[in-house]
Amino acid sequence: MSVKIVAFCCNWCSYAGADLAGTSRLNYPAQVKIIRVPCSCRVDVQFILRAFVRGADGVIVCGCHLGDCHYSTGNYHAEGRLTQLFSLLDFMGFERERVHLEWISAAEGAKFAATMDAFVTQVSALGKNERYRNMYTKAGAQNE
């Protein structure tokens, strides 16, 4: 069963980059499904954790390059918040490679496709995310 990837893309830069990857007819795996948000700072910690709980195997958040944010400081807040989330998930024993934050501008269609390719390969290497589901189950404690 191939891995499921959710990508949160900010409307002004990375979502436009994804569109550009489309107009340039580039290619990246179909497991990647994109959710549009106004800015990377709209991505709430809950959305990412909810995706894992509902069966996603990898979550990637994309935003504008620092300094290019349409809302001037949105991506700085996103970076601060997600760095803390990623370090906590790693601390709790979840595979750090299942989450990723990438800055992609509206002109970087090729980078978007390449980033998605690399991320899908990286997550596929880890396989399905069993750890998120078994963290609280007794049975889980035995076989880990």
Partner 1 sequence: MRIGVFVCHCGSNIKATIDAEYIAAQVQQDAKVVHAAEYPYLCAEGGQQKIINAVREYQLTGVVICACSPRMHENTFRKTAAKAGLNPYQIEIANIREQCSWVHKNKDAATGKALKLAKAAIARVKLALPLFAGESAVTKRALVIGGGIAGIQTALDIAEAGFAVDLVESTPSIGGKMAQLDKTFPTLDCAACILTPKMVDAAAHEKITLHTYSEVEEVEGFVGNFTATIRKKARSVDMKKCTGCGACWEKCPSKRIPSEFDCGLANRTAIYTPFAQAVPNVPVIDRATCIKFKNGRCGLCADVCQPAAIDFTQEDAVFTQEYGVIIAATGYQVFSLDAYGEYAYHDSKNVITSLELERLMNAAGPTGGKLQRPSDGKAPKKITFIQCVGSRDITRGKPYCSKICCMYTAKHAIAIKEKYPEAEIEIFYIDVRTPGKGFDEFYRRAVEVYGVRYIKGQVGKIAEMNGILHMQAVDLLENKRFDTTADMVVLAAAIEPSPGAKPLAQMLATPMDTLRFFSEAHPKLRPVESATAGIFLSGVCHGPKDIPETVAQASAAACKAIGVLAKDKLITNPCVAKVNDKKCTGCGRCIDVCPYKAISLESNAAEANPALCQGCGGCASLCPSNAMDLNGFTHKQVLAEVDALCR
Partner 2 sequence: MNEQEKMRTRAKELHAAGIIKQVLAWEAGAFPSYPAPAFFTKPNAFEKIVYNEFCTANLSKYVINITEKTLIFLRPCDAHSFAQLVKENQVKRENTYVIAVGCEGCVQVDEGEARDLLESCRTCTKTDYPLFDEEINTQNNPRESTNKAARFAEVTRLDSEENTARYAFWQAHFSQCIRCNACRNICPTCHCKECVMDSDHPLDGQFYHAIRALHQDGRCTDCGQCSRVCPRGIPVHLLNRKLIYTSNK
128 binds partner 1 (CB under 8 A): no
Three state DSSP letters for 125-144 = HHCCCHHHHHCCCHHHHHHC
Is 101 a binding residue for partner 1 by CB under 8 A? The answer is no
Query: Binding segment for partner 2 among 9-17, 22-30, 105-113, 134-142 (CB under 8 A)?
Result: 134-142
Q: Which stretch binds partner 2 (CB under 8 A): 19-27, 62-70, 117-125, 132-140?
A: 132-140
- Binders of partner 2 among residues 16 to 55 (CB under 8 A) are 45-46, 49-50, 52-53
Which of these, 92, 103, 104, 79, lies nearest to 129 by C-alpha position?
92
Q: Which of 3, 13, 14, 41 binds partner 1 (CB under 8 A)?
A: 41
Provide the greatest CA pair distance for the chain: 49
Q: Is 4 in the site for partner 1 (CB under 8 A)?
A: yes
- Could you tell me the CA-to-CA distances from 120 to 28, 45, 114, 144 in Å, in that order? 9, 21, 10, 24
- 89 touches, from partner 1, partner 2, none (C-beta below 5 to 8 Å by class): partner 2
